[in-house]
Structures are given as C-alpha cells and as structure tokens.
Amino acid sequence: MELCLFLGCNTPAIRPDVERAIRASMPILGIDLVDADNYVCCPAFGAFPSTDTDSWLATSGWNLSIAEEKGCDIVVQCGSCYSSLRMGREHIMHHPEKQERVNELLEPTGRRVDGRSKVRHVSEVLYKEIGPETIAGQLKKSLKGMNGVVQYPCHTLFPSEVVGFEDSAREPKGMRRLVEALGANVNSYSRELQCCGGAGGFMKSTPEQAIEFAQSKFDAILAETQTDFIAVSCITCLMHMENVQNTLNKRVGEERYKIPIFDYNQLLALCLGFEAKQVASICNVPRDSVLSRIA
C-alpha cells in the first residue's frame, strides 16, 4: 500500500531521527511512502485555525491536494497535524460552500481539493492496517524482559467521531498492543489517558500549572509502574515529556524523573535491526538503559 508521508514541522526540523525511523520501518511492513513535496504547515491550530476559516482551510486544502494528486491517503505521526488535517478535510468535504471557497483560493496555485484522500495516523496504520501479529513476525530483536507504559496521542482519540479509530476512545488499546508486539510488558496506571499537556498555549500561558499537571502524570507512573520507558506516537508528546522531566528534576533538586521516551516507530525500527545512531539518536533524557537491553 502506498501512503503520502506528511512530516509536519517539528519532526523533520528538530527530530529527524524519528523521520528516519518511520522511513526505515514502514516499507518493511508493506507501506510504501511517497513524500508530500512542497507541503506547508498543517496548519497548526494556534495559527490559521485561530484567525479565519479561509486561511485555515486553504492551507489544509493545499496539503490535501498533494496527496490527492498522488492518488493516495496521507499518513502522519504528529498528533496536531493529524487532527488539523482531518478537521480541515471534514470541513471541506461536508460544507460545499467551504469547498468552493477553498478551490477558488487554490485555483491560481494550480491545485484543487475534494477530500478524496483520507488522513491516517501512523499508529492507526500500524495497528489496524498492518496489525501487531505481522509486526511481531518481522522482528530481528525484541524488548523482551522490559516494562513499558504508553502515551496515547489525544489527537487520535478525540473527538472520536471525527478522528477516532479505536473501538472505544475511553479504552484505547492500539498503543498497548503495538508495544506488546515488540515483546515488552505494558504496565497500566491511573493517569494513562491524561494528556501530556505539551501542545497549544498551556505551557506558554501558564507554565507553572502546566508543569505541575505533567508532574502528576510522572508521579503516577513512578508510583504505580515498573516501567523502563514510555512509548509515544506524537512529536509533541515526545519532546514535551522529555523536556518537562528535566525541568522537574531542577525543581526537586534530584534526578528523580529520567524515564526514557521513544516514539513507537523508533522502538519498532530498533527491533527491526536498525541502528540507534540513525533511528534514535536525538534525545534530552538518556536512553542507554533501554538501548543496551534490546536484543
């Protein structure tokens, strides 16, 4: 199956090793990736969706038209990109007057959009299209003997009617099954579905409270699990959950928060035999404790 890879802004610019992990792992599992050449910002919710519908949907339309031209669906890892593109597509598909306006704006650029390309999250493609069994069958190494916890990207759960793919958004299973497929034991904890808090303006407008909010999650993980790592599938979760641990350590005056964070495709690529220096080389919380045990 061919899918159009939409990278967003943060992954290729700040964490290209995650991009490398996605490009390395997906083709082995039967997903051929074609680049979304000349894409633009998704648009981020804090940008055009916060100013007006015209610029919001014209920007979504620009991006969707790239996949439509290639005749395939879009695959994306960043939670915000996923949610923004899906919501943009919903508006364009279900409101003829909006679609008309977007096409009027796109016309001089030689583009058109009608919504025929769907927007899919990489974790959904892995969970529903490929499936945990197929993944398990391809591995060269495993996470056997290790404990993990999972962080569901909120943007893939809510609103479930528009973005969801889990049988129940209240009881998602995808990330858990995917990490189990790599051989790890997945621990549950009380704040598993709590948002990382990293997107949008929460950290910017009230950093104190945003950090405390994240702390409550990390404290629950430390108190209730034996985890060796956290698996995420969103670039914001990845960067925020690392950064906030470092901030918390400075506050409490000890190295209490040092749980390695991996994007799921990084763990997958490592288990498929790719080298950490390519697929998992950039981090702010050391990962050696996990990397040394993948065998």
Partner 1 sequence: MDLKGSIQDLWKDIYNTGDLHHCFNCSTCLSGCPASYGDPPLLVRNLARMVILGLEEELLNEDTPWACVSCSKCEEMCPMDVKPFEMILAIRQWQSANDETRVPPSIVEIYKRGYTQAVGVNTDLRDSLGLPELKTITNNPELLQMFREMLMKTPVVSANDYMFGG
Can you tell me which residue has the tokens 């702390």? 215
3-state secondary structure of 139: coil
Token duo for residue 75 = 């695959």
212 lies in the binding site for partner 1 (CB under 8 A): yes
**Choices 116-124, 194-202, 260-268, 283-291 (CB under 8 A): range interacting with partner 1:** 194-202
168 lies in the binding site for partner 1 (CB under 8 A): no
226 lies in the binding site for partner 1 (CB under 8 A): no
Cβ proximity to partner 1, 63 vs 181, nearer residue: 63
85 lies in the binding site for partner 1 (CB under 8 A): no
291 lies in the binding site for partner 1 (CB under 8 A): no
70 lies in the binding site for partner 1 (CB under 8 A): no
Cβ proximity to partner 1, 181 vs 276, nearer residue: 276
Euclidean distance between CA atoms 287 and 103, whole angstroms: 47
Euclidean distance between CA atoms 89 and 68, whole angstroms: 12
266 lies in the binding site for partner 1 (CB under 8 A): no
Do 89 and 60 meet the contact criterion of CB atoms below 8 Å apart? Answer: yes
Cβ proximity to partner 1, 111 vs 176, nearer residue: 111
215 lies in the binding site for partner 1 (CB under 8 A): no
Do 271 and 144 meet the contact criterion of CB atoms below 8 Å apart? Answer: no
Closest CA to 165 of 75, 51, 250: 75
Token duo for residue 29 = 């599992």
Alpha-carbon distance values, 262 to 15, 192, 205, 240, 285 (Å)? 11, 16, 27, 12, 10
- Residue of the chain from 114, 147, 158, 173 that contacts partner 1 (CB under 8 A): 158
Element (DSSP H or E) covering residue 2:
strand 2-6
155 lies in the binding site for partner 1 (CB under 8 A): yes
Euclidean distance between CA atoms 100 and 157, whole angstroms: 30
16 lies in the binding site for partner 1 (CB under 8 A): yes
48 lies in the binding site for partner 1 (CB under 8 A): yes
Name the residues that contact partner 1, by CB under 8 A: 7, 9-10, 12-14, 16-17, 19-20, 23, 35, 37-41, 43-55, 58-59, 62, 80, 83, 105-106, 108-109, 154-155, 157-160, 163, 169, 194-195, 197-202, 204-206, 208-210, 212-213, 278, 281
